[in-house]
Structure 1
Amino acid sequence: MVSMRHEAIVELIRLCPAFAAEMLAGVADLVVPEYESAELGSPDLSEVVPTERRADAVVTLNQDSRAVLGIVVEVQLGHDSDKTYSWPSYVISLRQRLRCPVEVLVVCVDDSVARWAAQPIQIGRGSVITPIVIGPKVVPVIDDANIAATSRELAMLSATAHYAVPGVLEALAAAIAADFEHGHVYSELIWAVLSGTARAKWERLVTATTWEYQSPFARKYYGEGKAEGKAEGKAEEAAAGVLTVLRARGIDVPDAIRDRVQHCGDLDTLEMWLSRAATAETIGDVFD
């Protein structure tokens, strides 16, 4: 089963591809070429004959309608000796596809895993690939709402690594309150990553905000009474919330189930499905 923390970080890249470049430049202090756009590429980095290999995410930075940097993003939660073979193959495959330099960006939530991942990978006597690693020690502690607002994605990463540090969750809650495009998704992602007292604290924080939340999770925790009068016509947003959490947890949704969710008009049922999705391991854990 794919970890929710793993999928939450990958989802940040999917929602904001430029965040990969921001981590390289702003956290890892790597010189990134000037670019006009950042877009997701195919994570399939297989060769024609070898076994299929898929990265967590692939981001391409473009300038003047051409690729200037390819970024292979991997979220690594544990030691995996096979990655010393797959990561170089990712670089070679993507470099051949894009015809530009390529970096491997590895995001870790554990310091020991970060130290392991940062080791240079010796290909041969004259060939070495060194992953760029973002671990807890280099992820900044963002406990200021103004700073968090300048990069909500980095604030999210900070919250996954430093949620116990005073002010971090408060800064994130304030930052995403103004994000009407992705705010409710980010709120649900961090809620699913947290547990115990940290999750309870997050629920209290978002309950106190003045943001007009629209997701099913938000309606449940941010004032059911206020949302009840606006529930009509919200089934589409609620269904999207269920499918977003399932995708973030790495659970495949068959077309029949997707159709069932999208055509469900009962908010209580949708909220029940969302509650189950937050901790589900299989699609059967959510739907009867």
Structure 2
Amino acid sequence: MVVAPHEAMHRIFQEYPELFSRVSEVLGVTFTSPISTTLLPTDLTETQPVERRVDTLLRLETEDDEPLLLAIESQGEKDPRKPASWTYYAAYLLAKYRLQPMLLVVCQDRATAEWAARPVSFGPRQWPLLTLRPLVAGPHNMPVMTNPAEVRKDLPLATLAAITHAKHQDIGAILKAMTTVLQDQPDAVKNPVIEFISQGLGKLPAAAQWRTLVAVDLSFYKSPLFEEVRDEARTEGRTEGRTEGETQRAAEDILIVLTERGIDVPEDARERITGCSDPETLNRWLRRAVTASSAVEIFEAE
């Protein structure tokens, strides 16, 4: 089953192909930055009824070297079947495109990342035929960027680093540095980063921190994009009978925004917010909570 963090960890390279050169430099391996990139089909299926797909496949053109085929895999947990599959991908790509393949594995879990980074040999013990040695990016080697100046120097790298450090003890400071930099960025730059990090955090505790920071620092809850997300959530909630859970989530978001902004929430206001069952009303209160000077102010127009 494909989940949001899985998608974010490889799709970010589709949006920022040059990111691979910076990631490889961080990992101690030098690859020349591409001058052009082609997104290739990810279907590696043979004529036999066995379907094999790599997460993202890019052809990177450089000025110095021959084109490079970059396969990117998001790995959420240890899987003893993967090394054989990755070796198959590399051999297939070499045979099909006649270009040198490279595999980058992106992880959020340190144990998984260290497992994925271990060289694996295939063949007899006396004479290994193949050795798989992927390049791995994860919480064990990606930079922890809590300084906005560092984030500003390389926003794509900082975005991937934030995703890989989703469980880090300093994730709050990491995310705060991101929204600080995004405040003065145009929507074309800001919105993809918001989406990638939102997907990358998935259902981890840091996701609530990210929603709050985006709401307070970037006024995301007042944007058309937020309205679209809310509309989709309401539709999904009605379709699957989860309207009650949706309203609870909205009420929690209001309280989180007010608390993050340092606004005191009296008990009667808290009860009114948590006791409201109308999604439209909660949505209005949530937008007002971003700019209100007091908790009571969010109810004034009612």
Amino acid paired to 2:28: D
Alpha-carbon distance in 2 for matches of 1:116, 1:60: 27
Determine the structure 1 residue equivalent to 2:160.
Answer: 157
Letter in 2 for 1:99: R
Q: Equivalents in 2 of 1:90, 1:286: separation in Å?
A: 42
How far 1:117 sits from its partner (Å)?
1.0
CA 1:35/1:77 → structure 2, altered by over 3 Å: closer, same or farther? same
Map 1:1-288 onto structure 2 (within 5 A). Answer: 1-24=1-24, 26-33=25-32, 35-49=34-48, 51-63=50-62, 68-124=67-123, 125-163=128-166, 164-165=169-170, 166-177=172-183, 178-192=185-199, 193=201, 195=203, 198-209=206-217, 218=220, 221=221, 223=222, 238=225, 270-275=228-233, 285=240
Which stretch of the first structure deviates more once superposed, 103-112 or 62-71? 62-71
Contact kept, 8 Å, 1:142 with 1:168, in 2: the verdict is yes
Separation in 2, partners of 1:127, 1:196: 38
Post-superposition shift, 1:199? 3.4
- Could you tell me whether the CA contact under 8 Å between 1:46 and 1:93 is conserved in 2? no
* SS class of match (1:104): strand
Matched AA of 1:93? Y
Aligned equivalents of 1:107, 1:197: Cα separation in 2: 20
Aligned-partner Cα distance in 2 for 1:19–1:183? 17
Alpha-carbon distance in 2 for matches of 1:43, 1:19: 19
The TM-score normalised by the length of structure 2 is: 0.66
Q: Which secondary structure state, in structure 1, belongs to the residue aligned with residue 151 of structure 2?
A: helix
Q: Percent identical across equivalent pairs?
A: 26
CA separation in 1, counterparts of 2:26 and 2:57? 18
Over 3 Å counting, the alpha-carbon distance change for 1:66 and 1:133 in structure 2 is: closer
CA distance in 2, matches of 1:173, 1:34: 27
Amino acid in the other structure paired with 2:139: P
Post-superposition Cα deviations, 1:249-277, rounded to whole Å, max 9, x if no partner, equal xxxxxxxxxxxxxxxxxx6xx44333359
What do residues 74-95 of structure 1 show as CA deviations (whole Å, max 9, x unaligned)?
0000111221211011111112
Flag the 1:66–1:126 CA change in 2: closer, same or farther, 3 A. Answer: same
Q: Which amino acid counterpart does residue 45 of structure 1 have in structure 2?
A: L
Q: Which secondary structure does the structure 2 equivalent of 1:35 belong to?
A: coil
Q: Which moved further from structure 2: 84-93 or 124-133?
A: 124-133
Secondary structure, aligned partner of 1:149: helix
Distance (Å, rounded) in 1 between the aligned partners of 2:194 and 2:113: 26
TM-superposition CA deviations, 1:47-101 (whole Å, max 9, x none): 3336121011011111369952111100000111221211011111112233222
Q: Distance in 2 between matches of 1:5 and 1:276?
A: 22
Matched residue type, 2:210: W
- 1:208-232 Cα shifts (integer Å, max 9, x gaps): 43x5x7xxxx2xx2x4xxx6xxxxx
Q: Deviations over 1:142-172 (max 9, x none)?
A: 1121221232222122222335415211111
Query: What is the rounded CA distance, in whole Å, between the counterparts of 1:130 and 1:19 in structure 2?
Result: 20
Deviations 1:5-37 (A, max 9, x none): 11122221222222233322x222212145312
Asked whether the 8 Å contact 2:75–2:107 carries over to 1, the reply is yes
- CA shift, 1:3, in A, is 2.3
Q: Partners in 2 of 1:97 and 1:151 — Cα distance?
A: 34
In the alignment of these two chains, the number of paired residues is: 233
TM-score, reference length from structure 1: 0.69
Cα distance in 2 for residues equivalent to 1:183 and 1:53: 34
**Greater C-alpha radius of gyration:** 2
Q: 3-state DSSP class of the match of 1:167?
A: helix
Superposed CA offset, 1:160-200 (max 9, x none): 23354152111111233314324223213423425576334
